[in-house]
Amino acid sequence: MSYPADFKYTKEHEWIKADGATATIGITSYAQESLGDIVFVDLPKPGSEITAGKTFGSVESVKAVSDLYAPASGTVAEVNGELATAPEKINKDAHGSWMVKIKLKNPDELKSLLSPADYEKFVSEEGGH
Amino acid sequence: MVDFNGWDMPVEYSGIIAEHMAVRAGVGVFDVSHMGDIQLAGPEALAAVQHISMNDASRLAIGQAQYSALLYPKGTFVDDVIVHRLGEEEYLLVINAGTREKDFTWVRDNTRQFDCRVENLSDDFTQIAVQGPMGVNVLQKLTDADLASVKFYWVTRGTVCGLKNTLIARTGYTGEDGFEIYIPSDEPTSARVWNEVLDAGREFAAIPCGLGARNTLRLEAKLPLYGHEISDTINVWEAGLDRFCKMDKQDFIGHESLARAKASPMVRTLIGLEMIDRGIARDGYKVLDSSGKEIGYVTSGSYAPFLKKNIALAYVPPELSAVGSELQVEIRGQGVKAKIVPAPFYKKPKKS
């Protein structure tokens, strides 16, 4: 599995792509594979605040509910409405299925996140993938 | 792979939704060897079964099976069970994995007064379920038994994958037509038959199915799961299993309590729920009335792959159980609207 070079990653299997003052967030391919068929996504409304390390929503597969943890703090600017009716898109293309776009409160927070190489290493140690 | 009552079992092979749909549309194959098998044989085998089982086994012809339950004296469940009459004086009870030891001890201890041998054959059998409308087509390729002549909830014996005298039952836990075969449990035989079943099923797009699909399939069909819809604190009337409980047959364990319970108001009843607003009701979630007051709980809930809805079974007070009523399920601290719907949620299409 290759993890996009321009993303940063968390140990909770989220990815974040910064673009100046805004960032896009989703979950990794490893996450969607562990979850199985995704059938429901619960995301915050535009305008809400999310805080790095805290839950900001949840993603559900047939068998399990999984919290989403914010990779960085900020204000939700946009939510991917497609995922309300077609959550399975995340299974098909996790890195291409963004969940929320936020206005970053403190872009420096991304410095402490995992690089693609570090994330790949973390995943291979965790799951033997 | 997960631990299911001490058994290392797959939740899914290729994906729960694909596996679920394979069973509804064609055929899926399950390794259900974790289930237990208790044989009762002897001159008083029928009397023994009648004593511990709530359904009427005297109605069973040789080769016929019925759904039933073993009850505690207070009318609650030891386990649900399929009772098969295999011979003049021979019965096979197929029981849940999680209750194997408890059930065997219960059966043995409560039938000592009958001239009947009770044997735990659970480890002797590998049990494979071939489920779905095309299950019969797959299994027919592997056996000389005439499967078309075996009606639903009947059994036969035949050579299966070269194994003589194999028990073949037209039973299952999916709400579809299908079969369960009982073969010797040694690994080489089990692996060989498993692979032959999948090979035979290839032309029908058969795939192996795990616990995840097993659960979503039985939920759509409102088949109870021990520890959820039935347990040692729930009685037969609450669980809605009246039609499998023959109160007018001879006395059985639990009869007296059930008669008393029938004459008293019911405290809770099992209902089917369908989510109206976005959210999935899951096992253990609270059920609330429209004012937000807690009135019950979800016994089993999930996204239903065939129905493409979020469904659940739940216990609520009888006065709040009318079909069409709007209730709420508490999901992550919020009440989410749901309505009571008739269950089973899914019934297999009648064969034309």
Q: Could you report the per-residue pLDDT of B30-76, keeping only the tens digit for each?
A: 999 999 999 999 999 999 999 999 999 999 999 999 999 999 999 99
Domains, in order of start, for chain B: 2-218 (3.30.1360.120), 265-345 (2.40.30.110)
Alpha helix (H) ranges present in A8-54?
29-35
Q: How far is A117 from chain B (nearest CA, A)?
A: 28
Is pLDDT of A128 > 70?
no
Q: B232: burial class by Cβ within 10 Å (0-12, 13-18, 19+)? A: middle
pTM metric for this prediction: 0.94
Where does the pLDDT of residue A2 fall: very low under 50, low under 70, confident under 90, or very high at 90 and above?
Answer: confident
Domains, in order of start, for chain A: 8-108 (2.40.50.100)
pLDDT tens-digit profile of B68-126? 999 999 999 999 999 999 999 999 999 998 889 999 999 999 999 999 999 999 999 99
Closest residue to A37, CB basis, from B15, B282, B310: B15
Q: Say if A67 is an interface residue toward chain B (CB within 8 Å).
A: no
Closest CA in chain A for residue B212:
A63
| Pairwise CA distance, residues A100 & A43, whole Å | 8
Length of chain A equals 129
Q: Say if A111 is an interface residue toward chain B (CB within 8 Å).
A: no
Whether cis (ω within 30° of 0) applies to the bond prior to B344 is yes
**Does B282 contact A40 at a Cβ distance shorter than 8 Å?**
no
Q: Chain B residues with CB inside 8 Å of A37's CB?
A: 15-18, 305
**Does B303 contact A65 at a Cβ distance shorter than 8 Å?**
no
The answer to whether the Cα torsion of A33, A36, A38, A41 is positive or negative is negative
In which element (H, E) is residue A81 found? none
**Does B303 contact A42 at a Cβ distance shorter than 8 Å?**
no
Is pLDDT of A129 > 60?
no
Inter-chain contacts counted by CB atoms under 8 A, chains A and B: 38
CA angle B235, B239, B242 (to 5 degrees): 85
Q: Say if A53 is an interface residue toward chain B (CB within 8 Å).
A: no
The answer to whether the Cα torsion of B120, B122, B123, B125 is positive or negative is positive
Q: Chain A residues with CB inside 8 Å of B15's CB?
A: 36-37
